[in-house]
Amino acid sequence: MGKVWTVLDVLRWTTGYFERCGIDSPRLDTELLMGAVLHLDRVGLYLNYDRPLVEEELGRIRELVARRATREPLQYILGETEFWSLPFAVTPAVLIPRPDTEVLVEEALKRGEEACRILDLGTGSGIVAIALAHELPRAQVSACDVSAQALELARANARSNGVEERITFALQDFAQVLAQGHDFDLVVSNPPYVADGDMAQLMPEVRDHEPHLALAGGPDGLDALRVIIRNAPCALKSGGWLLVEVGQGQADAVERLFGEAGFFQTFQRRDYAGIPRVVGGRKP
């Protein structure tokens, strides 16, 4: 007879294998992949350490482990993740939601009133628009993206989170939707902001698997931000706010762009790692 593999055996072996592959959180990733196959949470795995696994379970675990070993992101393998304590489906058509973006939602909520009109530029999986619609049940939210696949996923996420009826989705680029001018109270965006020269230095999970269209921001990473900041006054009502997420080291340059475009009360907000992550300003 062959070796009988228990839950603990597979946990230990896979964790060591992921360590050798250079994966940042080998134990956690192992637990989440095994939990997805065995329909157990992390506590459930601990309570079943001695449980022997059947060949069908081992085969499915091997498939997922092989994918993660190539540095395919865990979220794409599982097909889901969490943002703002809400569930979101994710696919390679969209960026993986990151906790850093929650500070953009926090700053938007400070400035958004209950019945305000909000525009989310480059919505991707819809995380920002959906989080704001969830927190502001009387707000009117519009969201745009240039990817039809992303919009399809964003609509599905809005539906699963119960806010589909309150978000309007449009297949448009930043300049198109801003030029239409709709007197929004708040415009928010997490645009592409990785400089072209930095793309090759990204982690393999990002560089090789996430959509470059949602990452690459031109020679200095500010191409999309310039378009947004230059055109946003057309879409904002007087006193309305523009809030954007930026990359490390970009906040000062972006705040200068805000000033050049006529915004006042500009500010920077750090994320929880201490990195300036959001820049905002108000239309006079």
* Mean pLDDT, rounded, for 82-105: 96
* Mean pLDDT, rounded, for 163-171: 95
- One domain for residues 66 and 89: no
- For residue 243 the two structure tokens come to 């809030």
Evaluate whether residue 1 is within a structural domain: no
- One domain for residues 231 and 148: yes
Write the pLDDT tens digit of every residue in 141-157: 999 999 999 999 999 99
Write the pLDDT tens digit of every residue in 16-73: 999 999 999 999 999 999 999 999 999 999 999 999 999 999 999 999 999 999 999 9
- One domain for residues 48 and 143: no
- One domain for residues 121 and 217: yes
Backbone angles phi, psi at 71, to 5 degrees: 75, 20
pLDDT at 2: 65
Evaluate whether residue 194 is within a structural domain: yes
pLDDT at 1: 47
Burial 13-50 (b: 16+ CB within 10 A, else e): ebbeebeeeebeebbebbbbbbbbbbebeeeebeebee
Instruction: Give the model's confidence band at 112: pLDDT under 50 very low, under 70 low, under 90 confident, else very high.
Output: confident
Say what the pTM is. Answer: 0.90
Write the pLDDT tens digit of every residue in 7-29: 999 999 999 999 999 999 999 99
| pLDDT at residue 85 greater than cutoff 60 | yes
Residue after which a domain boundary falls, among 70, 93, 117: 70
- One domain for residues 31 and 121: no
pLDDT at 182: 78
pLDDT at 3: 81
